[in-house]
Structure 1
Amino acid sequence: MTATVDSSHPVPFDAVCPLVGVEEEYLVVDPATRAVAPRAAEVLERAAAELGEQVSTEITKFQVEAKTSPCVRVSELEEQLLRMRAAMARAAREEGLAVVASGTPVLGEIVPPPITDHPRYGVGIDTYRALHDEQSICAGHVHVHLPDRERAVLVSNHLRPWLPALIALTANSPFWAGRDTGYASWRTLSWAKWPVAGPPPYFASLAEFDELIGTLTEAGVLVDPGTIFWDVRPSARLPTLEVRVTDVPATAGESALLAAVVRALVLVSLERVEGGDPGPRLSAELLRAAYWQAARDGLDGYAIDPVTGRRTPAADLGTALLRHIGPALEQTGDLETVTARLERLRVTGTGAARQRAAHDRRGRLADVVDHLVERLMERDEPEV
């Protein structure tokens, strides 16, 4: 989300249909070699002429970031995503480059990556060192307007059981620098190495959250609030709850689907918080296992329910999710669209499955990159 919703210009909270926005990270690639190219600065300079503050640098010179404005309707958000992706693609093309929406680079020499020149990144390298070697990864972040930080922390307790499902549904990073990792979301596994990453802990209150952040900061684990990399967090700069668990979705339509689902999850969770439900205290081991299973298989095979530990067909995750958030989707007007798109995703497979299908047709990783370039601005993935 851009700074159009910030603490200096507060917007009243809408408990029926809160504002939602998306941040997406993309990789810059050379269309001839299909390898990632360290030329983000040139792409951003051109894109900024059209998108202004909606575009920004990322930690490596392989990556660019773009942000929507906050929206009430997901249809409006999707149109913004399509325009944003189109503008980024044009800017890249004018530099003889391309951009792709993939959680990890398919091809290229990426370890160690070229780091963007910025004082903050220098401090981060001093602190985290070789963890930056695998930072050429791209996520999708959804911001839901929730200015009450106490409620935002309590809502995160209710979101935790659904984070593995979001990983599975949006998995879009099977390849890593020239090899098939065997995982649907390798980005999830790569990101998990960081000291304050993965699912957030259970917090009984905002005071407990703030106390832990203070302790981690004093211990030198955090560089600043921006290095709280948990998959759900109250935003450090916006009056939002930020859900940042997924790979960057393959298409604009899937990114809009993710935003609708996350907002509905927040609304269901907020209702339970208001009713005095503290949320489930999950086993850390089960939640970790559920993350791993979702990252490995996406919508193929089985998923692990982090509440019960039972195995369930991963293809049924969409049905379970709809059952949980259906009333909230009706409230926001998104039920019909989300139902249809979750079914479409079940038929076409995840972004990771489609990347592999592109590879398997001729056994060429270059075809995967071409597939990603072609799909960047699509509303939905064509049925296969």
Structure 2
Amino acid sequence: MRTVGVEEELLLVDPRTGVPVPLSGVVVTEHDPKASAPITTELQQQQVETGTPVRTSMADVAAALRDLRRQVADAAAAAGAHVAALGTSPLPVVPQLTPDARYRRIRDLTGVMCDDHLTGGCHVHVGVASDDEGVAALDRLRPWLPVVTALATNSPFVDGRDSGYAGYRTQVWQRWPGTGPADVFGSPAEYRRRVDAMLATGVVLDHGMVYFDARLSQRYPTVEVRVPDVCLRVDDAVAVAALVRALVDTAADAWAAGEPAPPVPSALVRLASFRASRWGLTDELVHPRTGGTVPAAVAVTALVEHVRPALERSGDLDLVGTAVDELLAHGTGADRQRGVMDATGDLAHVVADAVEQTAR
């Protein structure tokens, strides 16, 4: 069974106001150095990143995510903060750059875009046997990623207002150079050639700034899928991780069987991603096979059916089915945020609810 690791970017917020606070350095210091997984700083001081140990069982992934969220909550409390799994800050904030040489180089390159950037994503790493298998998976899973984006939308509010998007983080993120869907590579050699060409421009400073929607990890023998918002609820994050693993499994099977990669233009994948980011599960999505718009439930069902054999092999079919039914019936993190706002009229309550949901 393929290994899975999940990284989460989490906001640190003021317990009284809900405004993000620049305490990542203190939180990292307060974290137990003997813990099973590290807490690290990120681009801005108002957030931290966690990463689960490598696991094969989704039950173990869930346990690791819950444990890490508890550890961050404890370390944040010691620093005078709370932690919230939010894709963007609902309340206005002035991000403060983490004092790091690489981040300063990024800021010098991107200017105000970096100054304004504060988003929380979820990155899913899935083990692959070789770069050949990894690139084959990247080439075949790309049309399905917008559906994953829709399932994980959790960033409707930004800078004190409703953005109009379910997953506004996707739009913020795609301003950066090197982001978005990649064209079909065909081979590891072509993958490396294209990355080298990007680096040669001087706009992408290093391999870490190759921000494809899905890429080969530079640190691990994995495919890394980067499209989901950080999920409000652990159960949603686990379902997304299970679906991503099943997508890699299904793509690798298709490659081994000699099936070609779907020749879907990247421009169309980007448009499908826009729909997913704009409406989440509340409107139509682009069907990954036909390219036409269909009700969100139809696109999600198509995704589950596409990866059903892989989910059955891993024992994750019931887990994913239950989570998907819940999301279709009651909405994503974005829908919950809007529900709290409708009920209270106060974005501080939205953040407070997110704090509660993050630790639950």
Q: Which whole-Å CA distance do the structure 1 matches of 2:106 and 2:35 have between them?
A: 28
Aligned match for 1:237, one of 219, 225, 236? 219
Deviations 1:117-166 (A, max 9, x none): 11111221222222213321010000011141122112111111111101
| Partner SS state of residue 229, structure 1 | coil
| Partner SS state of residue 169, structure 2 | helix
| Partner SS state of residue 267, structure 1 | helix
Aligned match for 2:59, one of 62, 71, 75? 75
Residue of structure 2 equivalent to 1:190: 172
| Partner SS state of residue 31, structure 2 | helix
| Partner SS state of residue 259, structure 2 | coil
Residue of structure 2 equivalent to 1:224: 206
Q: How far off is 1:50 after superposition?
A: 5.3
Deviations 1:244-275 (A, max 9, x none): 11100111111111111110110000000111
| Partner SS state of residue 198, structure 1 | coil
Whether 1:247 aligns to 2:222 is: no
Q: Which whole-Å CA distance do the structure 2 matches of 1:132 and 1:48 have between them?
A: 30
Deviations 1:210-262 (A, max 9, x none): 11111111111221111111110000111111011110011111111111111
Aligned match for 2:102, one of 120, 123, 127? 120
Q: How far off is 1:202 after superposition?
A: 1.3
Q: Which whole-Å CA distance do the structure 2 matches of 1:144 and 1:80 have between them?
A: 16
CA contact (8 A) 1:56 1:66 kept: yes
CA contact (8 A) 1:164 1:290 kept: yes
CA contact (8 A) 1:282 1:307 kept: no
Deviations 1:280-339 (A, max 9, x none): 111233212111110000000111225433110013333111111111011011111111
* Equivalences for residues 315-354 of structure 1 within 5 A: 315-354=297-336
CA contact (8 A) 2:149 2:228 kept: yes
CA contact (8 A) 2:182 2:266 kept: no
* Equivalences for residues 221-370 of structure 1 within 5 A: 221-370=203-352
Aligned match for 1:93, one of 64, 77, 83? 77
CA contact (8 A) 2:37 2:68 kept: no
Aligned match for 1:203, one of 172, 185, 207? 185
With normalisation by structure 1, the TM-score equals 0.91
CA RMSD of aligned residues (A): 1.3
CA contact (8 A) 1:51 1:84 kept: no
Structure 2: 5+ residue stretches without partners: none
Residue of structure 2 equivalent to 1:65: 49
CA contact (8 A) 2:10 2:120 kept: yes
With normalisation by structure 2, the TM-score equals 0.97
| Partner SS state of residue 6, structure 2 | strand
| Partner SS state of residue 247, structure 1 | coil
Q: Which whole-Å CA distance do the structure 1 matches of 2:116 and 2:137 have between them?
A: 31
* Equivalences for residues 133-172 of structure 1 within 5 A: 133-172=115-154
- Letter in structure 2 aligned against 1:59: L
CA contact (8 A) 1:185 1:296 kept: yes
**Could you tell me the percent identity over the aligned residues?**
38
Q: How far off is 1:355 after superposition?
A: 0.4
CA contact (8 A) 2:91 2:159 kept: yes
Q: Which whole-Å CA distance do the structure 2 matches of 1:333 and 1:215 have between them?
A: 41
CA contact (8 A) 2:86 2:232 kept: yes
Q: Which whole-Å CA distance do the structure 2 matches of 1:230 and 1:135 have between them?
A: 18
Quickly say closer, same or farther: Cα 1:52–1:39, change in 2 above 3 A. Answer: farther
| Partner SS state of residue 132, structure 2 | helix
CA contact (8 A) 2:286 2:299 kept: no
Deviations 1:139-197 (A, max 9, x none): 00000111411221121111111111011000000000211000000000011111200
Q: How far off is 1:377 after superposition?
A: 2.6
Whether 1:32 aligns to 2:2 is: no
